Amino acid sequence: MILEITPHELAARLADPTPFVLLDVREALELRLARLDDPRVEWSPLSRLAYSGFEALPAPVRADKQAEIVVFCHHGMRSADVTAWLQSQGWMQVRNLEGGIDAYARLIDPKVGIYE
């Protein structure tokens, strides 16, 4: 069972200075359509993860299996797969953003952008 975080919980988490990683698994084209501007965002598209596995993980994720990680994509489906994979590989503090960046933009911050 994968753990999830709601857009409202993520908004509260973003206001907290405690370090964590936001792992964006969307493809390059999608980054131009909606963007969560935060220095904690690391990007590794699902296509690269599927092809290269651990080697495609950003250094902050690879370096610490105890790191707190929030994985997101457009609607939360691809990120749920990545969350499940990371959990199966030993990352214990990884959660999927429920509804993805779309839900975050609609419920919290429309400046992020919405795309179909």
> How many structural domains are present in the chain?
1
Pinpoint the alpha helices (H) of the chain.
7-15, 28-31, 46-52, 59-62, 77-88, 100-107
Single-letter amino acid, residue 73:
C
Neighbour tally for 78: CB within 10 Å: 22
Residue 65 belongs to domain spanning: 4-112
Q: What DSSP designation does 65 have?
A: T
**Statement: residue 116 has pLDDT above 90:** no
For residue range 50-106, what is the model confidence (pLDDT) as tens digits?
Answer: 999 999 999 999 999 999 999 999 999 999 999 999 999 999 999 999 999 999 999
pLDDT, mean of residues 18-25: 96
For residue range 25-36, what is the model confidence (pLDDT) as tens digits?
Answer: 999 999 999 999
At 78 the three-state DSSP class reads helix
Neighbour tally for 53: CB within 10 Å: 11
CATH code at position 86: 3.40.250.10
Contact (Cβ atoms closer than 8 angstroms) between residue 81 and residue 46: yes
Cα separation, 62 vs 42, in Å, equals 12
Instruction: Tell me which residue of 45, 1, 51 sits closest to 25, measured CA to CA.
Output: 45
